[in-house]
Amino acid sequence: MSLSGKVAIVTGSGRGLGLAYARELARQGAAVVINDVDADVAAEAVRTIEADGGKAAAVVAPVGSTEVAKQLVQAAVAEYGRLDVLVTNAGILRDKSLLKMTDEDFDAVINVHLRGTFTCVREAFAYFKENGIAGRIITIGSPTGQRGNFGQSNYAAAKAGIVGMVRTWALEMKKAGVTANAVIPVAATAMTKTVPYFQKAVEADERGEAMPAFFRHGLGFGTADDVSGLVAFLASDEAAGITGQAIGAGGDRLQLWTHPEAAATEYREGGWRYEDLVEKFGPLFGGKLQSVGEEFLPLPEELQPEEQPATTAPAKVG
């Protein structure tokens, strides 16, 4: 087991994707600190990992504040003597279109996803640096943060911000030998379960059957376990040379996302005045404007959701 002797914190790991990450880290030999806001859920997650033969302890607290970040690191050190890996998975949703989204909706999502990632990573990195540990930081992004999604201003901002921080942290942590990466999962979750487009895939997963190839291969959509292997790999010594990356995983697909690059570049001596842009922007850039949102293939007839109109694309995928 490649993570034997390692200790990992996984925030938001009581259920779903977070629990899958924690279980895989434990299967690879790491002792895991489970985190959830529900004590019963956290305790059940610990029992599940112990039943698998792994080691786990729980911290019941809402991620976001510096105090909770300190509590998580202190718990890992107190329980297992050290910390080697941090996976920042905790998150919530408050989906609404822009004019319906309140300040509270926006702030709640930013606090858990973005600020929670920031505070936990800051605390973990401080521990790594002070103790000379070449630790691993694994954050969780989303396709929504990469391409946008209707009704998710708060979530898109948080997930895009996480990837931006990862690229910055890769620079700041390099000298200490600490890596920082973002995983972009596409998997069956409580959210995708409500999207008719994914109905047949989620139903197959719930029955313990393989998802149809259209989802797994064509869309790169799969189970939580399809993502957990990447998380464990990035936590390992074998991934020591990988940092500052956004890596997608889902179904049969693995993706390395590009850093934002200019899609087209033009120069004009003396700069670009308003009149120049009116005349030249369309001919120069009109055919190169970038798409927004995820683009999906139409569902085959046999995979159409039951008692629903024909679906060409999901409402939410991130």
Residue 315: predicted pLDDT: 42
Of 44, 43, 34, the C-alpha closest to 12 is 34
The better pLDDT of the pair 304, 24 is held by 24
**CA-to-CA distance for 123 and 140, rounded, in angstroms?**
17
- Which tens digit of pLDDT belongs to each residue from 119-161? 999 999 999 999 999 999 999 999 999 999 999 999 999 999 9
Which whole-number Å values give the CA distances from 28 to 82, 169, 196, 233, in the listed order?
17, 26, 35, 9
Task: Supply angle C-alpha 170, 173, 174, rounded to 5.
Answer: 80
Asked if the model's pLDDT at residue 190 lies above 80, the reply is no
214's tokens = 């259209």
Which whole-number Å values give the CA distances from 59 to 10, 39, 79, 155, 248, in the listed order?
10, 8, 11, 25, 28
What mean pLDDT value characterizes the chain?
A: 94
80's tokens = 């297992």
**CA-to-CA distance for 288 and 291, rounded, in angstroms?**
9
Overall average pLDDT of the 173-196 stretch: 90
Overall average pLDDT of the 35-54 stretch: 98
- For residues 62-100, one letter each, b for 16 or more C-beta atoms within 10 angstroms of the residue's C-beta and e for the rest, the string is bbbeeebbbbbbebbeebbeebbbbbbbbbbbbbeeeee
Residue 1: predicted pLDDT: 66
Overall average pLDDT of the 3-24 stretch: 97
Of 257, 236, 237, 255, the C-alpha closest to 246 is 257
Say which DSSP state 190 is in. Answer: T
Q: Which of 155, 197, 267, 274 is catalytic?
A: 155
Asked if the model's pLDDT at residue 206 lies above 90, the reply is no
Active site includes 267? no
Asked if the model's pLDDT at residue 316 lies above 60, the reply is no
Overall average pLDDT of the 218-232 stretch: 95
Most confident of 125-134, 186-195, 290-299: 125-134
CATH number at 7-187+223-257: 3.40.50.720
Q: For the chain, give the number of residues.
A: 318
Beta bridge partners of 59: 35
Query: CB 262: neighbour CB atoms within 10 A?
Result: 5
Overall average pLDDT of the 35-59 stretch: 98
Contact 254/230 with Cβ under 8 angstroms? yes
**CA-to-CA distance for 121 and 9, rounded, in angstroms?**
11
pTM of structure: 0.93
